[in-house]
Amino acid sequence: MSLDGRIRQGLVGAADSVQPNVEGDLMQVVERNHNRRRIQWAAAAVAVAAIGAFLFLGGTDLFDSTGDTDPIPPASTGDGSPTVAPTTESSPSAEPDASVILEVWFTKGETLYSVADAYVSHVLPPAVAGVALEHLLNRVDPGAGLATEIPGGTELLGVDITNGVATVDLSNEFESGGGSLSMRMRVAQVVYTLTQFETVKGVLFEIDGELVDSIGGEGIDVSTPQTRKDYEDLLPAITVTTPGIGWDFTSAGPGVGAGIIEGTANVFEANVSWRILDENGKEIASGFTTASCGTGCRGNFRIEAEFSVDHDQDGTIEVLEYSAENGEPINVVSIPVTLLSE
């Protein structure tokens, strides 16, 4: 088994294993944020050493062609000085052995698309949030036909998590170009990437250090903490959060990446189907499950897929819905993976 497969199967915990400490309603945070002194990231050699020691699998690809890992770049203030966000009193400490798979949200057509992009360990919540955003801003080619509405050159200047609200400071490039859909999509990318963490319930925006009430010439209203629900209309009918593009995938068993398919769906009667295709495009396994909600509401689903191949090979996982009208596949999500033999 390749190095990336062994690492993923050895992961323990998840981002939602960190419990939040949320005080008060999100709307009450807005006024406090206007008056608070913004906590800047500390540029210190100790922080750089910590990030260098504990963050793995960063860069432009989840794994390179040799199976080796690339270091995740530390956050930057824009002047070349690597930094890491400090913890705040309301941010709990990560478990000593906790590991996190990052969700990074890109775009596909006119919808959002989640990529399970990287693995980090032993990192406190504000710092790991910054790492996720750096992956979002710096991954020029997400692969698999994905794109981003965030303009090139946008820099992450800081992120603070206080009382369940993340305030993210971005450079002014974030507001450049694009119409109303593009602006909503880029805001949604940031919101969905940050709210994967249980410590973050909503997101406020700063541009070059100044708290803003709207984004871009189209005036996307961000005066209150932005939540996933505000941009749920930009999601496709089915989203898959695990496995990630290019992951090793084995038959169902213990460990992350071992036959587990997870995501959310808003489909007819909550019926979610799946199938696995081998290197020749032949279906070798299939099944269905029921999401926790459907037909007008979005629910979670989890699939434990079992299959067998006689050698390691490229393959595809498809999660889909079958039309109630004619039985044809619709809303198909395809994830290229490497299928591992037993």
**pLDDT digits over 84-134, tens only?**
333 333 333 444 455 778 899 999 999 999 988 767 776 666 788 999 999
Buried b (16+ CB within 10 A) or exposed e, 212-237: beebbeeebebeebbbbebbeebbbb
**Higher-confidence position of 42 and 342:** 342
Confidence grade of residue 310 (pLDDT, cut at 50, 70, 90): very high
CATH number of 238-339, picked from 1.20.810.10, 1.10.150.120, 1.10.10.60, 2.60.40.2550: 2.60.40.2550
CA distance 40 to 35: 15
- What's residue 127's pLDDT? 85
Alpha helices in 103-179 (DSSP H): 125-138
Query: 180-194 vs 125-138: helix axis angle to the nearest 10?
Result: 140
CA distances (Å), 77 to each of 134, 158, 325, in order?
11, 7, 54
Model confidence at 286, pLDDT cuts 50, 70, 90, reads: very high
Burial (CB < 10 A; 0-12, 13-18, 19+), residue 13, is middle
Model confidence at 332: pLDDT above 80: yes
Residue 73 has pLDDT above 60, yes or no: no
Compute how many other C-beta atoms are within 10 angstroms of the C-beta atom of residue 182: 18
Structure tokens at 183: 């602006």
What is the three-class DSSP state of 324? coil
Spatial CB neighbours of 69, under 8 Å, sequence gap ≥ 6: 3, 4, 7, 56, 57, 63
Per mean pLDDT, which range of 92-96, 235-239, 270-274 is the poorest? 92-96
> Residue 187 corresponds to which amino acid?
V
Which helix H or strand E contains 318, and what residues bound it?
strand 313-322
Confidence at 40, pLDDT banded by 50, 70, 90: very low
3-state DSSP helix/strand/coil percent for the chain, to nearest 5?
Answer: 20, 30, 45
Angular region, 230: left φ>0, alpha ψ -120 to 50, beta rest: alpha
Per mean pLDDT, which range of 62-66, 73-77, 233-237, 256-260 is the poorest? Answer: 62-66
Length of the chain: 342
Domain(s) labelled CATH 2.60.40.2550 in the chain stretch across 238-339
- What pLDDT is stored for residue 50 in this prediction? 36
pLDDT surpasses 90 at 158: yes
Say if CB 262 and CB 302 are below 8 A apart: yes
Which of 16-25, 102-111, 246-255 has the least mean pLDDT? 16-25
Cβ pair 60, 69 in contact under 8 A: no
Instruction: Between 127 and 280, name the one with better pLDDT.
Output: 280
Alpha helices in 81-168 (DSSP H): 125-138
Strand segments (E) across 35-130:
55-56, 75-76, 82-83, 99-108, 111-121
The pLDDT of residue 331:
95
Q: What is the mean pLDDT of residues 123-149?
A: 83
pLDDT(78) > 70 = no
Calpha distance 312→81 (Å, rounded): 43
- Looking at the whole model, is its pTM more than 0.85? no
